[in-house]
Structure 1
């Protein structure tokens, strides 16, 4: 296994584990402080915001990583500068439209008043997260994966945790409304730090060169990436939204608590994807299939090695872990963790299926698989959530995750000849 891949993986994985660890600690603090109902309300709002952000950033990071990597490889500095300018304008414009539409929905009472009041505060997160996504994609496309992950993945969570801890020490009451304000402050700090990283790492060649724009082609390429990101995010957030509407806030809280632990399993795969995304694009563009396959084989082994031991711990010790970290009142999250772990184990062992399709120009195949999966997820959630609440949501998510991994695996093999699965 190449030393460069391992070094970059552990650097990126270390940052992501640190960030996820901070998120888990923050989740524990908030869950214990707020209780299931208020914590569920806060989590529900964040899920709504995540869906609201979709039009702003959907597909943009994947497009930027691929185009920046290719432009740097071919030394097309004018085009690189152009796509960065275009991406910023696109994000700002779409963010403004989304914020206006949500403000209108709140004003005409299309959204429940108690949720609408919280959503008012969260609107500002839409452009902040959009610009952060652009900065992260730029750094990752230029092969600085650790710096790409730091602002949003680690520093934002760190500042939220510090601010929350400080407020609690002062004896003030913390609720969902107050937490959203803290999220905005922390995100702004992360944005400033990200801007500094971008300023120091951008190729010097683009500073004085005239920007070249290929807007028609970028929009054409962005469309499938956008649909992919929309459906992928919807698949991730639908469970919480359905629980919020069809069950209750406590069910959302139990599901979110379970997700706190289970998402740690995907960190290995997420870290390796961050590292290998520009490399896959470069190797495949150069026609070096041997190097591409070798990279994929090493990457899935590395992610499995770091994820599977933790999966076994979560499956067999879920009750003990939940009780220790969150308290007895969240014990209902234990069976949810076990169910979600099964899907994540399959996700890790199948390798970087979606990433390979996107980086090799087969994003329409990934879009088709995710579209079918989203329809399946909605159907399963409609049937299982009213019957089994959070457990039903976990079953729905797990079945869907296994299904789309299998579909994409065969798409990768059929369209590229590459094998992503662990072997």
Structure 2
């Protein structure tokens, strides 16, 4: 291929995948923005304030998944089919979905209010500042709406705006308000977060409504099929999102807010390595799926091996750096955070192994073994729910961090075992054991 031909191909690829690449970049920026927000709160107000902020915001985020997790994925799937046919979606369909989502979120809020102190203690570690319950309710509603608004925008192929609404705008705008010097306490930061979240949610819904039509010729979609699609996805969404929230709540309940703040910082440092997994998933999932559909076992294995090598290449340097300079790194936030160094090393080591073995789970998911993948996810999640509180009683926050790391790594090792057993593929080495493919 000539230089001109190569350049033209690269330009074509960039043009065709610009939205997808930018959406992935926004995901990465959102991780950095979230960490920057925790850094600022911890640096200014200490571990307890960081723990308070994390508990309320993480609880709201997880409860929003309980409210609409699965429905957002069903929206992407169903609404995209209308766009693919070059038709316009009926505005009434979108409004019905939004109304349903508001109903689900309201039901969760009602359960929190009806449950009283015991329910709140379970949901947020029993620690709420003045007005904290109202803040939690606003954040829960807002996060549910941003999930739905983002799903609709992505179904309309407005990926950049969709990802920004869901993950980037809120932490970035809150950081801007803090930088402007308009807030001086953790309580005021929480109120700003609630207000910003509500504004972003409303803006996202209005933007998604612009992509629909009120004309009689617009295409309506029934709601019941979406609910049928959403129900099995709902369980998966909860299982995939529970670890961050649950570990934090267990630490807060057993070790207190101070340790919860330390735990949160350690987890944010360590889970930043997940950006690698997001990138590999977006690039290799369609290629692995296509190779499997073509019955190209060697191609699937080769792609898995390449993804593993790239994962190792991009994960090891930052992971080893964080392992080596844990104390001075945490000291940048504040001297109190140096105590989180052992937890940081545990989390980073677990995330390093989890990310490097991640292609095994990717291959399993892309080769038609959704039920096995689901069983592994549910088993590891239930095990975490059962064992984390028991381990926390004896080993505190570090024990919870170890528990989370072990179950995440165990999930990928189980995927590696079943990929080898069911497909005859070892994604780590790229080797193939000859056998008949079962789609």
Q: Is contact 2:88–2:212 with CA below 8 Å preserved after alignment?
A: no
User: Which one of the candidate residues 71, 78, 94 is aligned to 2:104?
Assistant: 94
User: Which one of the candidate residues 330, 335, 342 is aligned to 1:328?
Assistant: 335
- Aligned pair count reads 412
| Residue 183 (structure 1) aligned with residue 193 (structure 2) | yes
Equivalents in 2 of 1:95, 1:416: separation in Å? 41
In the superposition, relative to structure 1, how do residues 199 and 223 fare at CA in structure 2: closer, same or farther (>3 Å)? closer
| Residue 18 (structure 1) aligned with residue 32 (structure 2) | no
| Residue 150 (structure 1) aligned with residue 157 (structure 2) | no
Equivalents in 2 of 1:337, 1:102: separation in Å? 33
Aligned to 1:36: 47
TM-score, length-scaled by structure 1:
0.82
TM-score, length-scaled by structure 2:
0.79
Residue 13 of structure 1: CA displacement?
3.9
In the superposition, relative to structure 1, how do residues 421 and 41 fare at CA in structure 2: closer, same or farther (>3 Å)? same
Matches within 5 A, 1:218-257: 218-257=226-265
Equivalents in 1 of 2:151, 2:363: separation in Å? 17
**Residues 276-301 of structure 1: CA distance to partner in whole angstroms, max 9, x if unpaired?**
66x479859x9456599487666555
Structure 1 gaps, min length 5: none
**Residues 284-328 of structure 1: CA distance to partner in whole angstroms, max 9, x if unpaired?**
9x945659948766655555543332222112221121112x121
Residue 253 of structure 1: CA displacement?
0.7
Could you tell which deviates more after superposition, 305-314 or 9-18?
Answer: 9-18
Matches within 5 A, 1:269-308: 269-273=277-281, 279=286, 283=290, 287-288=293-294, 293=300, 302-308=310-316
Equivalents in 2 of 1:328, 1:22: separation in Å? 22
In the superposition, relative to structure 1, how do residues 212 and 53 fare at CA in structure 2: closer, same or farther (>3 Å)? closer
Aligned to 1:399: 406
User: Which one of the candidate residues 209, 213, 218 is aligned to 2:218?
Assistant: 209
Residue 174 of structure 1: CA displacement?
0.7
SS in 1 for 2:184: coil
Equivalents in 2 of 1:150, 1:187: separation in Å? 12
Matches within 5 A, 1:364-403: 364-403=371-410
| Residue 132 (structure 1) aligned with residue 140 (structure 2) | no
Matches within 5 A, 1:52-67: 52-67=63-78
Structure 2 gaps, min length 5: 1-8, 431-439
In the superposition, relative to structure 1, how do residues 23 and 345 fare at CA in structure 2: closer, same or farther (>3 Å)? same
Could you tell which deviates more after superposition, 359-368 or 235-244?
Answer: 359-368
Equivalents in 2 of 1:33, 1:181: separation in Å? 17
**Residues 175-216 of structure 1: CA distance to partner in whole angstroms, max 9, x if unpaired?**
2x322211122213333453465356x48899942313262x
Equivalents in 1 of 2:257, 2:165: separation in Å? 30
In the superposition, relative to structure 1, how do residues 199 and 80 fare at CA in structure 2: closer, same or farther (>3 Å)? closer
Aligned to 2:56: 45
In the superposition, relative to structure 1, how do residues 399 and 110 fare at CA in structure 2: closer, same or farther (>3 Å)? closer
In the superposition, relative to structure 1, how do residues 235 and 226 fare at CA in structure 2: closer, same or farther (>3 Å)? same
Equivalents in 2 of 1:242, 1:342: separation in Å? 21
In the superposition, relative to structure 1, how do residues 193 and 50 fare at CA in structure 2: closer, same or farther (>3 Å)? closer
Aligned to 1:316: 324
Equivalents in 2 of 1:360, 1:219: separation in Å? 26
Could you tell which deviates more after superposition, 400-409 or 294-303?
Answer: 294-303
**Residues 65-104 of structure 1: CA distance to partner in whole angstroms, max 9, x if unpaired?**
444556655x385889897565433312101111111122
**Residues 256-283 of structure 1: CA distance to partner in whole angstroms, max 9, x if unpaired?**
0112211210012224445666x47985
Equivalents in 1 of 2:231, 2:179: separation in Å? 42
Q: Is contact 2:289–2:367 with CA below 8 Å preserved after alignment?
A: no
Q: Is contact 1:261–1:337 with CA below 8 Å preserved after alignment?
A: yes
Q: Is contact 2:46–2:334 with CA below 8 Å preserved after alignment?
A: no
CA RMSD of aligned residues (A): 3.8
**Residues 107-126 of structure 1: CA distance to partner in whole angstroms, max 9, x if unpaired?**
x6653575385122210122
Equivalents in 1 of 2:309, 2:347: separation in Å? 21
Equivalents in 2 of 1:274, 1:135: separation in Å? 21
